[in-house]
Amino acid sequence: MKPKVLLVDDDPLMHVLYKKHLEDGGYEMLTAKDGTDALTIIGRDAPSLIIMDIIMPGMDGLSVVRKLKKDDATKHIPVVVVTSSVGVVAATRRECENAGAEGFLPKPFNARRLLDEVRRLIPIDPSDNVAS
């Protein structure tokens, strides 16, 4: 069974750019357009990992991460935060780590870098013969 990865970003282009690459890497992809949508999908589909944008309308990504990490049912799910608000990368990274995120990628990044980060946190079993 493929691990489920939830990509949360309000930019539909991000879904298109990264979804196929991660699916080709052996992951089942779920997508959400904002934090509220993400919480619904997480409760319903129990992803193995979440890729979370910070800046989104409504509930921002860090608020979602904090909520997930306080809940016993979801605190074990690794979260990789992605953001284009990196004017102060070190401060943004610390804020994400303090919220409980296990990974941080400043935008722009290539799809291969994202796949490497996902594999670091939830490796694919080599016996699955997945193309990368």
CATH number at residue 96: 3.40.50.2300
Report yes or no on 128 lying in a domain.
no
Which residues partner with 29 through β-bridges? 5
Domain that holds residue 47: 4-121
What's the structural domain count of the chain?
1
For residue range 62-96, list pLDDT tens digits in order: 999 999 999 999 999 999 998 876 555 667 788 88
pLDDT for the residue numbered 132: 44
Q: Which helix (H) or strand (E) holds 31?
A: strand 28-32
Instruction: Report the run of H or E that residue 5 belongs to, with start and end.
Output: strand 4-8
pLDDT of 131 > 70? The answer is no
pLDDT in tens, 47-59: 999 999 988 888 8
Q: Which two tokens stand for residue 67?
A: 């909520």
Helices 89-99 and 61-70: angle between axes, nearest 10 degrees = 30
Is 132 a domain residue? no
Confidence of residue 98 (pLDDT cuts 50, 70, 90): confident
pLDDT at 102: 94
